[in-house]
Amino acid sequence: MYTRLKHSVKQLFPPAPTWKVDDIPDQTGRVHVVTGGCAGIGYETVKALLNKNAKVYMAARSRAKSEDAIAKLKTETGHEALFLELDLASLSSVKRSAEELLQKEKEIHVLYDNAGVMFTDPKLLTEDGYDLTFGTNVLGHFYFTQLLLPALLAARARVVIVSSVAMLCFPFTTLNMDILKDGPARDKFNGVTSKYWMYGKSKLANCVHAQELHRRYAKDGLTVISVNPGNIRTDLYQHTAGPLRLVAFDAFMHPPPFGALSSLYSGTAPEAAELGGKFIVPWARVGTPAPKAVDPKVGTQLWTWLEEQVSLYEKSKL
């Protein structure tokens, strides 16, 4: 418990950054895909990449919000991002999105699995019947990444998966899969604190996914890094209220540009090519994840479950 608390505090109160967006090498000719790129940390990630001449796909649910963001970014950077419709809470949307992208790009150099939801109503489910938080943050990103593997492997790409310090702040999180779909176990789990538990569980799973993806594909040239972007003032906190929101915003929140630093470092810094399997914390430093995140048995457990869900979906569409 003490070790978790120590690492949590170190991540919550980081030193001043020593790596900045100006350090990003020129990205001319390189293709980047940012999920959730129309707002918050994703927007700042797209902005920094455009400023370095990257070709950037903004993968997001809302065409209207994305087009507004693209227009704003064009004014700010002189470059234009490309909209890619993607709803991570719908496996059908994930598949359509990946297929569309693969028709356009044979090589993807960096994928940022950045989008997410936090502290949503625990009764909410994805289109396919999974817990909304876990289905969006984990299952949707897993399927999207797997479908894009041909283009990622062709480019010997980097995959940056956004996790959170929440996996350390909620030490009771486990990868109990029984609560992720409707059923008796989920009914018992559906309490006052469930949305906080589930967010911590999803962020632990994001890190586990990154570890296992790197473990399986590093030999093929893939570099996978998970990141804690920091405590950032974004719309993610729209589902918090009262004292928690007051403390979260007033005590140790940072502007969105800070939240993009660790992702951008992981995706573009030459030295980060050697950091596959690592956990990057604010601001662009190697940090310590939860012990479960680096446990190969947990990685196999999560990967097997995710593959089973994708297989069930694909069989249902035959």
CA distance linking residue 72 with residue 74, whole number of Å: 5
Strand 279-281 relative to strand 285-287: parallel, antiparallel, unpaired? antiparallel
Angle between helices 194-217 and 296-316 (to 10 degrees): 100
Q: Which of 47, 52, 195, 203 is catalytic?
A: 203
Angle between helices 40-51 and 256-268 (to 10 degrees): 50
Handedness of CA 18, 280, 40, 67 (dihedral sign): positive
Pinpoint the alpha helices (H) of 105-183.
132-134, 141-147, 149-154, 166-169
Q: Is 112 a catalytic residue?
A: no
Q: Which of 163, 164, 194, 226 is catalytic?
A: 163
Q: Which of 57, 112, 130, 199 is catalytic?
A: 199
Name 120's Cβ contacts closer than 8 Å, sequence gap at least 6.
132, 133, 195, 239
CA distance linking residue 260 with residue 20, whole number of Å: 10
Residue 223 and residue 161 in contact, taking contact as beta carbons nearer than 8 Å = no
Strand 55-60 relative to strand 158-162: parallel, antiparallel, unpaired? unpaired
- How many other CB atoms are there within 10 angstroms of residue 294's CB atom? 16
Catalytic residues: 163, 199, 203
